[in-house]
Amino acid sequence: MPLPFPRAPWDGAAMARAAAETFLGWWWPAAFGAPAEARVWADLAEALDELIAPLAGQPPVLVHRDYFADNLFWLEERAPPQRVGVIDFQDAAPGPALYDLVSLIEDARRDLPPAVEKAAIDAFRAEAPAAWGAEGERVMAILAALRHLRVAGLWVRLARRDGKTRYLRYGPCTWRRLLGRLEHQAVHPLRRFFDRHIPPALRGNPPGAGESLEGESLEEGLFTDRSGAS
């Protein structure tokens, strides 16, 4: 039964489209000095189609999409689990249950100790074993790669279009997480795209990314324009 929620699903296809449009629409021209050619768009689309195939069987739940520490508040007077307050639901949509877990433990704005990441994963598996299933680790790798690819472009968009260059300081962490996820076997379709099109020396914030750039994002109008990394 479809999840009764009046938002377009944040499913694999939507994530792939947003990732491609943000990454190629903003990171690529800043890094290479010219828009991505049609063959690059086609190669990335092919890689992402292969990447998201395992997500097809994921039953949708309501996902927050920007579930990270700055949107969580400790409310001591409440009893668990209501003790954790959550804000910024405006981008919530039906999507894979593991997406918010990825958002929480792989947030580009902070590093968590490995023990804390493991504790969060273990808690999720204990509370929602059916949602974790037999492919939890694989699905997490795919969702993380999609998120980090898009956010790597988002920081550049915020800097070049909106003049918010301060967000570029999160680029190194985003890229470190993205490149780490490329090593996972489930993410190898995206890794092959990188190996074909993006030299290792360019895998990071583009030089001069904080300078102004004329042009429009291909993502404009598809998603809410926010400073967050939903």
Q: Which residues of the chain have pLDDT under 70?
A: 1-6, 209-230
CA gap 71, 208 in Å, rounded: 30
Contact between 169 and 205 (Cβ < 8 Å): no
The neighbour count for residue 211, using CB atoms within 10 Å, is 11
Which CATH fold topology does 12-59+96-202 show?
Aminoglycoside 3'-phosphotransferase; Chain: A, domain 2 (3.90.1200)
pLDDT of residue 214: 36
What local confidence, expressed as pLDDT, does residue 88 receive?
81
pLDDT digits (tens, 9 = 90+) for 71-116: 888 888 888 878 888 888 888 899 999 999 999 999 988 888 899 9
In this prediction the pTM is 0.86
